[in-house]
Amino acid sequence: MNHYKAPMDNMNFVLFEVLKAGNIANIEQFADATEDMQRAVLEEAAKLAENVLQPINASGDREGCVYDPEAKTVKTPSGFKEAYKTYQEGGWSGLASPVEHGGQGLPHFLKVVVDEMCCSTNLSFGMYPGLSHGSIDALTLHGNEHQQSYYLPKLIAGEWTGTMCLTEPHCGTDLGLIKTKAEPQADGSVSITGNKVWITGGDHDMTDNIIHLVLAKLPDAPAGSKGISLFLVPKFLEDGSRNPAFCGGLEHKMGIKGSATCVMNFEGAKGWLVGKENEGLKCMFTMMNAARIMVGMQGLGLAETGYQVSLAFAKDRLQSRSLTGPRNPEGPADPIIVHPDVRRMLLKQKVLIEAGRAMAYWAAYQQDLAHAAPEEADREKADDLFQIMTPIVKSFLTDEGYFSADAALQSMGGNGYTQDWPVEQLLRDGRIARIYEGTNGIQALDLIGRKLTMRGGRLPRTYIAAMNDLIADALPEHKKQAEQFIAKLTQTLMGLVKTVMSDPEEAGAAATPLLRMFALTSLAVMWAKMAKQTQDDGTKSRFSEDFLEGKVKAANHFYRLYLPEMDQLAADVEAGKATLMDLAEAEF
């Protein structure tokens, strides 16, 4: 059963009414990305998601991937190989990749919208090409001429896929502890020996080759993270021989069972340095930043599907009567959407999903401007915004995506808990998004420990200025409320400076609530921006009155729900580590 329809009205409203995304075509690099072109791409992406990816989502979850211990290979669920061929032949792998290596060169934000649709309909499938995009970005920025000319065209065409091989059995986030070794060889290659775990797409049967990007240490490398280098290690070498980079088994997971999450054993595998020696972490961050935005879209995509399912259920399911009298007098009961508690759950999903989408698309737009805006000052501003928004998009959308799916399940009662409906799978699949590509706690530390201080502390100033600019012409009642979010965040940031400088544990304690303050402020601004856009005559001619009036009322509900929370979060930040760090280990 198909439960999802791409929310084209909401997507188009954000892209073309609020963000004016068609204007990207005024930049020479994106001259082909007119509004008509973008709309055509999204229409085709919706067909792919609804008709190709969605039908194999539940079956892929039930069947899962199968490991062959003798061949050390992985078979993906039925239909995945065929779906990947459709994806690859449609050119989706190279949508936003460089033209000089066979890509279409379209804006990155357009890929982000396509990612949302793929994640809404089949998260497990979307992870295979998703990791390839990270490999493409890393090789585009850091690969040598041969690596770019030989490997990039195949990755961009989707003929091959890529992986990120970071984590090892004894270490996760602390990559300075890795033990994988890279021994230089006479021919200029290295011999890679070590074990990696939780490697998405480490092996599968959908493409002829898999390109692993592996973190390892050269002999005599500095200790810790300063001694990490990045290496390209293909499954099959250029002469067609099998490289000894083998899948040693599949992880047994809570969800995303159609995604091959592999233990990878490198047994003297041949590899080549990417970038400079001992700068592997820098190169890998190229992959991780792109991956973190995509993970945010996973949370948003799953939330959207959960909302669609629970909303349709609430309109159809008959249970009890409205508290103010029958709304469906001809039937035995009223649909549950009449009940305030059900509406509470549905509206929470709506206000977070729609503003979260606007926040994510806006952030992705900044990435494109950071690379392509004609003026250097505009590029710098956009990069400041993209850098600070990356941990916010990743963590907030995955947290709230999961909680939204949970609200969807709760609103459906016992039906939501069964496999007859897709929401229980959304919860299982979505739970991992809060963990990988850096847990959300790590994202918060990245925000407070790196993003707030980098470039002389310029990023938060750029962010606050951008938020004020976005609401400059908002409706008075919404502008006033959005300004309260901005003011509370600004006040909290100013109070943090001395505390954080004097005690790093205070920064650690404040990180998570502070990140949420940034996220809620971003959403408050997006709601003010969207509500204002509903008053535009051109917008009124393109959207129904119900659609636009629903935006204004949803904005009002968002402010009702989350403005009080800003005070609570600010108090949490101010309290700092007191009580958190007071207990001795024996007292837990």
Quote the CA–CA distance of 507 and 384 in Å, as a whole number: 21
**What is the helix (H) or strand (E) element at residue 209, kind and residue range?**
strand 209-216
585 burial type by CB count under 10 A (0-12 exposed, 13-18 middle, 19+ buried): exposed
- Within 10 angstroms of residue 72's Cβ, the number of other Cβ atoms is 17
The answer to whether residue 89 is catalytic is: no
Cβ 360 vs Cβ 297: under 8 Å: yes
User: CA dihedral in degrees (520, 525, 529, 531; nearest 10)?
Assistant: 50
Query: Is the C-alpha dihedral spanning 204, 209, 215, 217 positive or negative?
Result: positive
Strand partners, 249: 263
563 burial type by CB count under 10 A (0-12 exposed, 13-18 middle, 19+ buried): middle
Closest C-alpha to 473, from 539, 548, 519, 530: 530
Quote the CA–CA distance of 345 and 353 in Å, as a whole number: 12
- CA angle centred on 327, ends 324 and 328, rounded to 5°: 145
**What is the helix (H) or strand (E) element at residue 540, kind and residue range?**
helix 537-542
Q: Considering the candidates 116, 168, 424, 437, report the single residue annotated as catalytic.
A: 437
Q: How, if at all, do strands 190-200 and 209-216 pair?
A: unpaired
535 burial type by CB count under 10 A (0-12 exposed, 13-18 middle, 19+ buried): exposed
Distant-in-sequence, close-in-space partners of 285: CB < 8 Å, separation ≥ 6: none
- The residues assigned a catalytic role are 437
